[in-house]
Amino acid sequence: MFDKTIRMRRLRSGDTVRRMVRETRVSPDSLVYPVFIAEGEHIFREIPSLPNQFHYSPDELERLTERLQNHGVSRVLLFGLPAQKDECGSSAWDENGIVQQGIRRLRELMPELYIITDVCMCEYTSHGHCGILCGHEVDNDRTLECLSDIALSHARAGADMVAPSDMMDGRVAAIREKLDQNGFCNIPIMAYSAKFASSFYGPFREAAGSAPAFGDRRAYQMDWHNAREAMRECALDVQEGADIIMVKPALAYLDLIHEAQTRFDLPLAAYAVSGEYAMVKAAAAAGLIDEHGVMCESAVAVFRAGADILITYYACELADAMRRGEIG
């Protein structure tokens, strides 16, 4: 029977009261913007698979910092596109590698910028896999030393945080040990803890030039059927010394974001990946959806599930929406 004393609509009667009683509140401080830095000069080109996202050479990074400052975004996640690749991805830990160049240039342009660096080998290896090969298989333990060297080189170049995305067993512990041994005990690690072998990564692989030359990454990225395994991966990263854990992708894994938030007391990141962004862009271009509305609703869903940090290609637009009070 309808109890007329209970009127749920009372707190929905106007924007002021709706905003007052919101259960999920978000801030531009929670946003991280992925950035692609390409080796070379005078490179500023739109990425075909990711509309309104760009490749920047180090000499063009002022365009990026102007954009970030205009929108009030102060946290980035850097990915590198080297000019040369080899079997072992050696340019990834070169002190003058493309990410290392990018870090130093960004420090000059925007000292207050918080710089997180992706630590992986897929963009740097000629075969496109995330580690050192033994035949057609990635050798987990040989790869750990390379990943540790990459993280150390990023820290030496001035990175504020490193984020291993390779999904090798034991890489958080190996990186923590290498950083600590070299005087970087205060550099945090944001671990891609539950990273799935997802079909949502296609546009990124084009943007980063990181598609594997053969096979796929299912031998090290997770099976998307497995929830309990995802929690084991998170627990192992916590045990090995991760400072932040991550679930990737975001929207198709809201249940796991919620579960991780419930189980672990570390800050939790979620990555709204390239395929999620590209689908919204494509549907909006076809006139099928309200892009701005879907962007806002999707972001709030990730925070509502329990994420503290959202890595998103919509960081600039979301920051504006938050400041205008449209979300948050």
281 flagged as catalytic: no
Q: Report how far apart the first and last C-alpha atoms of the chain are (Å, whole number).
A: 35
* Whole-angstrom distance, CA of residue 171 vs CA of residue 291: 38
* Whole-angstrom distance, CA of residue 223 vs CA of residue 233: 12
> Which residues have a Cβ under 8 Å from the Cβ of 291 and sit 6 or more positions away?
280, 281, 283, 284
Pick the closest to residue 270 from 296, 303, 294 (CA basis): 303
4, 85, 178, 248: the catalytic one is: 248
248 flagged as catalytic: yes
Pick the closest to residue 25 from 322, 324, 291 (CA basis): 322
Query: What DSSP letter does each residue of 5-60 carry, written as one string?
Result: T--GGGGGSSHHHHHHT-S----GGGEEEEEEEESSSS-EEEETTEEEEEEE-GGG
Instruction: Kindly give the pairing relationship between strand 114-119 and strand 75-81.
Output: parallel
Q: Which residues of 109-118 are buried (b: 16+ CB within 10 A; e: fewer)?
A: ebeebebbbb
Count CA within 13 A, CB hemisphere, residue 68: 25
* Rounded to 5°, angle at Cα 233 from 229 and 99: 135
4, 85, 178, 195: the catalytic one is: 195
φ, ψ of residue 118 to 5 degrees: the values are -70, 130
Helices (H) and strands (E) in the chain, counts: 11, 12
Torsion of CA 122, 271, 156, 125, to 10 degrees: 0
Q: Which residues are designated catalytic?
A: 195, 248
